[in-house]
Each structure stands twice: as C-alpha cells, then as structure tokens.
Amino acid sequence: MGMGNGQGTPGGGAPDGNSDVPGFGPPLYGGGTPPGGPGNPGTPGPYSYQPPPGPAYGPGHGSGPGHGSGPGYAYGPAPTVHDPFAAAPPPPGPAAPAWQAPSRIERLLYEAKTRGDWPAYFEVLGRNWLYTAQHRSFLDSHPAEVQILPFFAPQVGGACVALYTEGVLPAPVEDPVFHSASLAWFAGSWDHTDPAWMVINPGTPCEAFFPTSPAHRAQWQRHAAPSDAIRPGRRLRALHVGGPLRGSVAHGLACGALLSVNNGELWNAIGYHGRGYRRERERLREWWDINSRDEWRDTLERLIRADMVSPVWEFALRIRQNLARDYGGAVELDHWRSVAERVIRANVARAAEPTITADGVTPGAEADESEVAAQVSGVGRLIGRIARYEARFRADGLLGDTQYTRTLEAWDYGRASGMARWGLGARFGTLAETEDAILRAGGAARANYRSWEEFSAAYVLGRCLHFDDEEFGDWYEGALACHRILTTDEASPWRNIPWK
C-alpha cells in the first residue's frame, strides 16, 4: 500500500512507534483505552468485542453459527466447552439495551455479525467507502500516496490496520485526517509488507478482525462494488447517534439537505469528513477554485450574505414581487417585462444625471443605447426562462398552482450550509466555525422564506438558472428527485423539523 513514517514491521509485531502517536490507533468509540503494544493490552471500551486469539481465523476454519462457511469468513466466537462438574450458571440478569448504531451502515454490519453472516458483512463493506487515519502532513507532501499506520492489537497478537465506516468516525480535528477508498482498492493495494490483519470499526459492537492474506483478499474482491456504485446519491441518509435531529443546528443542516441527498451524504453529520481530507480539498478546488482557508472563509461569508446569487435574477424577481403586491394577483408576462424595461431605463437615466457632493458636482455616466437595449433584452429573456421553469415546477409539484418564487437567496443559503461542512472536511475551518456558519445560514433562510417547500423551489430554480440552461436534464431531474425525497420520506428532516 502506501509508504511513509509509521509503517509497521513486516510480518506483524509492534509498529514503529505508532502507539505513541496522538490520535492514531482505534478511536475510543464509547470509551476505553487503546492498545499500547505488547504487554499493554489496554482497557476495552464498553462496546468492545474480543475475538478469540490464535490461528483459527485462517482460510477454511470454522463452521456452524457464528463461524461463517468458507475462506475469508472464518471468524466468530470460540466453541463452548461444557464442564459437567461446573457450578450452575447464575440466573440471567436484565437484558442489556439494544445498541443504537450511528447509521444504517453500522446497523447492517452489526446484524450480519450477530447472525455470523460474513458474506453479508462484506457485502456492506463493499458498497461503502472505508476510511483510514492519516498524518495530514504526509498527505499534503505525498499527493499520490497513502500511509499504513498500524497499531498493536492484543486480540490478534500483532500489527493490525484499522478501517472505519462513516458513522463511527470521530469529530474532525486538525490531525489526524482520514482517507477513504473502496474495499476493492484495499484488497488490491495490500502487499506482503503490510500487516497480516485488519479490523473494521474497532471498539464498537460491529467490530471484526480479518486476515489479509492473498486468499482472504480474493474473497473481499468478490463483494467489492464498482466505484460508481459505492454510496450512490439521491437517497436520504442520517446519523442516528452523533448528529443533531432537532433544533437550530439541525435546521441549518437541513437547509443543505438538497445537496446532501443529491450526493448521498449524511445530512446531519456536522462533524463532517465527506470522502476524506484529500477528496474534500479536491472538490473545493475543482468546483469552487478554493485552495486556502482565506478563500473558503470569503466564499462562505458571501454565501451566508446571499452575495453570490445573481443580482440580475433578484432584480427580475423583485419587479414581479412589487407588481404582485401592488395589484394583488398574478402578474402577466408582458406586464412584467414592460415594467422591468421601464425600471432599467429609469435607472440608466438617473445614473446619467450629475450629482452634487461636498467635493462639487460629479458628472453622470452616459450609457450607450445599444448597451441599454441589450440589458432590456437580456432581462426579458430571463423573465421568460423563469416563467417556463415555474410552469414546469407547477406541473411537477415543486410549486402550487398560484405560487411563484420571490427570491433566489435560498440558492446561496443551501450552499452555505454545505460549504461550512466542506471546509471542515478539508480542514480549512474548525468544528466551532462550521456550527456557527450553519446556524447563521439557517437563520437567514428562516428570515426570508416561509416553509421548506418555498425554500426548496427557490433553491432548485437557482440551481437550474445556473446549470440547466432550460434542458430540464439531470440538473433539474436530480434536484426534483431530492425535493420529492425530502418532502415525502417520513424520516426526512423537512417532515420532522418545523420551519419556524
């Protein structure tokens, strides 16, 4: 796999000092002390699961409930030996409360492990991204490499690499960061110098250790989904533990839910890792030309102020809003266009008038008639586009029969909620800054809209004007699908969090 500081010794054994690196090794999901090396097994956390040590995990070992049925799945509790002279066991106590998995991924892993269904366990791993802790400085200086950062696991008596699913990742800190890859990538990238064991979600009830021999990795490949089929978008995903489901922070996160659902991300994960540090930086660079903390902060603030939405869009919608308020009804398209032209020409005439200031008279700016005519024509075309999109919105249920869009600021507020989290994933911002920005974006949205449905229609119209060019293609169809999920799914934040 990758090279760099902290690679374990070949053939297992204690790694080169990684147990002493703060933040590396298994995160304390639920408490406990991570293993510290030979002779220091650590204190298991309350959710830890201790598999039996020894070579009985090799290919082909184990059968029956809890043991799997073939190479790669030989894992489970040791067989029970009954002693006829042993004292009778004490009566059972009260049943322990069922474990609440952070997300559906961990719940499916836990259920598969409980059944001893290791093929199903690997099917879940194969359909989701797996994360490994990394030194941030290494990823910054080695853009094409990934480190191996093993720890000593007393359960297997040697070096082990921890991989995590999204729901158990710890809150983001400056260092370490995480890198995500598919099960297929890990299966194909492992080599003979890498640790002989991997553990999934150490310290949790869905924890499981697996050998990493070529025969076992061949079994992993059987369950690996193609990259484009891993965690597909346009579905609602949530954290049930570790993410807000009610309150102002949840409301602000829900303002970005159209983006989260479209991307297949956990809508309420304020401690956001996304696809990992490297991929989140690439996304901000590719889509937003953001390469630094200052650029991220500037973009975030502009979005919260609704300063990135087109002022021409807002001008056209403001004309119609004023007419609707003045005349108390629907605004005809020709009337809307003619009033917009009068306002444009009045503004141009006003700009041409001289102004008197403390420094004297300042001459006005004369505008060329061809430029004015071009502005009028452009706004007229925009008004037609808005009207056609809104007609389609009404046909598809995004708008009611008599509803129209008042402002497209939702396009910025929704992206502000997303930008706050993307910056955290890229480590341009802190968790505190992210929460503050999400609260501000949610507050601005509440102040300017009256319902989730109104907010959504405005966001989708902004997205379409920016990307779709009246093709009513994927940019529109995708947004419509996400709108329908969020307005109809019983688990949607829009069905459970009041707008005000």
Grade residue 1 by pLDDT with cuts at 50, 70 and 90: low
Grade residue 39 by pLDDT with cuts at 50, 70 and 90: very low
Q: How far is CA 194 from the centre of its chain?
A: 30
- The pLDDT score that the predictor gives to residue 367 is 75
Burial degree of 248 (CB within 10 A; 0-12, 13-18, 19+): middle
pTM score of the predicted model: 0.81
Q: Who wins on pLDDT, 478 or 366?
A: 478
- The pLDDT score that the predictor gives to residue 94 is 62
- The pLDDT score that the predictor gives to residue 96 is 56
Mean of the per-residue pLDDT values for the chain? Answer: 84
Collapsed DSSP state (helix, strand, coil) of residue 208? strand
The pLDDT of residue 78 is above 90:
no
| 199-217 pLDDT per residue, tens | 999 999 999 999 999 999 9
Total residues found in the chain within this entry: 500
Q: Who wins on pLDDT, 1 or 248?
A: 248
**Token code pair at residue 80:** 């029970």
342: nearest Cα among 382, 314, 366, 315: 315
The pLDDT of residue 9 is above 50:
no
The pLDDT of residue 478 is above 70:
yes
Give the rounded percent of residues in the chain with a pLDDT score beyond 70.
80
- The pLDDT score that the predictor gives to residue 93 is 61
* Phi, psi torsion values for 232, nearest 5 degrees: -65, 160
| 458-475 pLDDT per residue, tens | 999 999 999 998 999 999
Residues 6+ apart with CB under 8 A from 378: 312
- The pLDDT score that the predictor gives to residue 368 is 84
The pLDDT of residue 387 is above 90:
yes
Grade residue 309 by pLDDT with cuts at 50, 70 and 90: very high
- The pLDDT score that the predictor gives to residue 138 is 97
278-to-137, 144, 215, 365 alpha-carbon distances in Å: 11, 10, 31, 49
Q: What's the whole-number mean pLDDT along residues 52-76?
A: 32
- The pLDDT score that the predictor gives to residue 92 is 63
Collapsed DSSP state (helix, strand, coil) of residue 130? strand
| Dist CA 443 CA 256 (whole Å) | 13
- The pLDDT score that the predictor gives to residue 97 is 64
Using the 8-state DSSP alphabet, how is residue 195 labeled? -
| 113-130 pLDDT per residue, tens | 999 999 999 999 999 999
| Dist CA 468 CA 280 (whole Å) | 24
